[in-house]
């Protein structure tokens, strides 16, 4: 299985395969060889399945399930452990998952559950079929869409990042990001297993856990801007990362003030990289290049970008002209599962993926992300949340007559989800609790504002910009 080359021993990276702390997830440890033997032991149970789901909480079992699926050549569908019944029901049906790997408390799910703690295999089991992930991501409206990510795209992304960051087997990778998204799972776990470096997942991305991992020799740290903002708010903790070789931020814009504080407190200038679930990581600053605050660098090897103006022409690369960023190349996934319509809508006639992000490109080729073209995509704590999905959940709450969901600038989360609700006697905690329970906890509004009417234009469309500025 070429994707996890260091794990399966395709490449000799010089790692100690018996190091009992080779991989740590929330204090559970395994060596590379133990992980490989246990995941191999699962292959026979799942081979031939159309897809397998994994309840992707921050646990070693998640990694075992994902690696087993990749070894078996069965599409793996990581699902947020706290996804509510309607969200996971949609994902399980849409992906045609035939079983769930590992324990879960999804009472309504009647698929067979495979215990991941069975006996290890005595030899590597891999059937040679290409592995793939199906990762669900929110759009402006409707339920999340499954993005098909073949092993070739995953490998191209990880190799491009290794080149940009000089990511090597003697690194010790540290992060505490969720394992149901690209950042935590692909970069944070599969990246380590491809390079063959030590990996510590801290369970949650709490500042004190990053500090503890730094004390145990962490050299390469990943986080979303909210994590870095919380770390610089505790200068002693931030200073404890000063031995790091690299500190990487992504998934949302890193505020310039956080970039500066992180640099001052750690002595390490952060690397910023940009990507999407659909395209994996496409842009990054380089460890041997300039790292300018607010800039996400250059295309990874095998990736090309261009900027589209509103009039359809290509925008100038002059650092100031804003256009919609389009990408193509080796890291781009295979489109949305069962949604040829959505795949077509996101692809230009000549085959480029339309990111929906507004950007500038400088004469030296460096990129700056300046916003999104749609107000209905919210980035909160690095999570992408579609306003339409939250609105549909809020509308189910008794008493809600109308609702509009908006992302309001927030110093900690980047944006916080606010629901503007029309309806008498609607209880804020009830709305928040309903969304947290039926979708995922991170999709809950942080605030509910009751209004008499929603501002609409002459065509009846809700004026979200007006709500955001109110
Ligand atoms: C609060 N909690 C609740 C409720 N309210 N539980 C149930 N019902 C409620 N109403 C609990 C939560 O379960 C959690 O408990 C605790 O309160 C805190 O809530 P949470 O919202 O999770 O925490 P936060 O502090 O606001 O989270 C900040 C965060 C998080 C840790 C930075 O946003 C995060 O992990 N972000 C990472 C997102 C990410 O990786 N995105 C990558 C996608 P407990 O603490 O016990 O769990 S983007 C991507 O992949 C692309 C390719 C890219 O570019 O990277
Ligand atoms: P997701 O669909 O969760 O993978 O989120 C992808 C989106 O995250 C992109 O379309 C961007 O809007 C945003 N994003 C990711 N990395 C960055 C970054 N470094 N700076 C600004 N926005 C980012």
User: Phi/psi class of residue 365: alpha, beta or left (left: φ > 0; alpha: ψ in -120 to 50)?
Assistant: left
| Backbone dihedral angles phi then psi of residue 349, each to the nearest 5 degrees | -60, -30
Task: Give the H or E element holding residue 6.
Answer: helix 5-8
Positions in the chain whose pLDDT score sits under 70: 1, 126-128
User: Is the Cβ atom of 206 under 6 angstroms away from ligand 1?
Assistant: no
Give the integer Cα–Cα distance in Å for 348 and 362: 23
Q: Is the shortest distance between the CB of 176 and ligand 2 below 6 Å?
A: no
In sequence order, the β-bridge partners of residue 409 are 415
- Decide: 181 in ligand 1 pocket, CB within 6 A: yes
d(CA 149, CA 353): 14
| Whole-angstrom Cα Rg for the chain | 22
Distance CA 221, CA 372 (A): 27
Q: Nearest residue CA, atom 21 of ligand 2?
A: 253
Answer yes or no: is the C-beta of 177 below 6 A from any ligand 1 atom: yes
pLDDT of residue 127: 64
Nearest to 273 by CA among 255, 252, 245, 301: 252
Residue nearest to atom 28 of ligand 1 (CA): 381
Pocket test for ligand 2, best of 149, 181, 250, 274 (most atoms within 8 A of CB): 274
Model pLDDT, residue 455: 96
C-alpha of residue 112 to centroid of ligand 1, in Å:
28
Size of the chain in residues: 470
Question: Can you give the pLDDT at residue 351?
Answer: 96
Nearest Cα to 269, choosing from 246, 238, 236? 246
Q: Is 415 in the pocket of ligand 2 (CB under 6 A)?
A: no
In the prediction, which pLDDT does 285 show?
Answer: 98
Residue 397 backbone phi and psi in degrees, to 5: -75, 130
Ligand 1 centre and the CA of 442: distance in Å? 5
| Structural domains of the chain ordered from first start | 2-204 (3.40.50.12780), 271-372 (2.30.38.10), 381-469 (3.30.300.30)
Q: Within 353-402, where are the H helices?
A: 387-395
| Ligand at shortest distance from the CA of 379 | 2
Q: Give the separation between CA 52 and CA 113, rounded to whole angstroms.
A: 10
**Cβ of 276 below 6 Å from ligand 1:** yes
Q: Which of 254, 266, 373 is nearest to 309 (CA)?
A: 373
**Ligand 2 atom index nearest CA of 249:** 19
Cβ of 277 below 6 Å from ligand 1: yes
CA distance 336 to 18: 39
- Check if the beta carbon of residue 69 is closer than 8 Å to that of residue 131: yes
CA 407 to chain centre: 19
Q: How many CA atoms lie within 13 A of 335 on its CB side?
A: 14
Q: What is the pairing mode between strands 298-299 and 303-308?
A: unpaired
Task: State how far the Cα of 414 lies from the Cα of 226, in Å rounded to an integer.
Answer: 7
Give dist(CA 326, CA 355) in Å, integer: 6
Residue matched to tokens 């399966």: 8
Is the CB of 383 inside a 6 Å radius of any atom of ligand 1? Answer: yes
Closest CA to ligand 1's atom 26: 381
Ligand 2 centroid distance, CA of 357 (Å): 8
Does the CB atom of residue 282 touch ligand 2 within 6 A? no
Contacts of 107 (CB under 8 A, 6+ apart): none
Segment 51-70, tens digit of pLDDT: 999 999 999 999 999 999 99
Q: How far is the CA of 383 from the centre of ligand 1 (A)?
A: 8
Q: How far is CA 269 from CA 187, 380, 394, in A?
A: 20, 24, 42
Q: Does the beta carbon of 75 sit less than 6 angstroms from any atom of ligand 1?
A: no
What pLDDT does 425 receive? Answer: 87
CA distance linking residue 229 with residue 255, whole number of Å: 9
User: How many angstroms does the Cα of residue 59 sit away from the middle of ligand 2?
Assistant: 25
> Could you give the CA distance from residue 274 to residue 295 in angstroms, rounded to a whole number?
9
Strand partners, 222: 248
């Amino acid at each position: 299985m070429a994707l996890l080359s260091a794990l399966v021993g395709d490449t000799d990276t010089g790692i100690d395969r018996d190091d009992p702390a080779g991989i740590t997830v929330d204090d559970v440890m395994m060596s590379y060889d133990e992980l490989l033997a246990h995941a191999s032991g699962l292959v026979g149970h799942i081979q031939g399945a159309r897809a397998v789901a994994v309840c992707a909480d921050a646990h070693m079992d998640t990694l075992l399930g994902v690696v087993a699926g990749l070894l078996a050549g069965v599409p793996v569908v990581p699902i947020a452990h706290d996804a509510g019944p309607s969200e996971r029901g949609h994902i399980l049906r849409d992906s045609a998952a035939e079983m769930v790997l590992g324990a879960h408390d999804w009472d309504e799910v009647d698929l067979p559950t495979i215990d991941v703690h069975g006996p290890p295999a005595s030899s590597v089991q891999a059937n040679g079929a290409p592995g793939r992930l199906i990762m669900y991501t929110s759009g402006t409206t409707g339920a999340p869409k499954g993005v098909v990510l073949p092993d070739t795209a995953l490998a191209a992304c990880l190799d491009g990042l290794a080149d940009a960051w000089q990511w090597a087997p003697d690194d010790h990778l540290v992060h505490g990001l969720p394992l149901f998204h690209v950042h935590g799972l692909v970069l944070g776990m599969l990246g380590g297993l491809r390079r063959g470096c030590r990996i510590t997942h801290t369970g949650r991305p709490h500042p004190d856990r990053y500090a503890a991992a730094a004390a145990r020799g962490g050299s390469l740290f990943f986080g979303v801007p909210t994590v870095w903002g919380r770390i610089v708010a505790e200068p002693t903790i931030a200073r404890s990362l000063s031995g790091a070789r690299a500190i990487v931020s992504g998934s949302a814009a890193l505020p310039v003030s956080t970039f500066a504080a992180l640099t001052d407190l750690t002595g390490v200038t952060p690397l910023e990289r940009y990507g999407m679930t659909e395209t994996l990581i496409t842009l990054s600053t380089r460890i041997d290049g300039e790292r300018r605050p607010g800039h996400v660098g250059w295309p990874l090897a095998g990736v090309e970008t261009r900027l589209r103006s509103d009039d359809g022409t290509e925008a100038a690369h002059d650092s100031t002209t804003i256009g919609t960023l389009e990408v193509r190349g080796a890291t781009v996934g295979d489109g949305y599962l069962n949604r040829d319509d959505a795949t077509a809508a996101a692809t230009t006639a000549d085959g480029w993926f339309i990111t929906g992000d507004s950007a500038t490109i400088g004469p030296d080729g460096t990129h700056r992300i300046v916003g999104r073209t749609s107000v209905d995509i919210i980035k909160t704590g690095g999570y992408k949340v579609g306003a339409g999905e939250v609105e549909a959940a809020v509308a189910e709450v008794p008493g809600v007559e109308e609702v509009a969901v908006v992302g309001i600038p927030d110093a900690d989360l980047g944006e916080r989800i606010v629901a503007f609700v029309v309806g008498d006697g609607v209880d804020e905690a009830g709305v928040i609790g309903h969304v947290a329970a039926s979708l995922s906890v991170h999709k809950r509004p942080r605030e509910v504002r009751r209004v008499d009417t929603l501002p609409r234009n002459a065509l009846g469309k809700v004026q979200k910009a007006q709500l955001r500025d109110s």
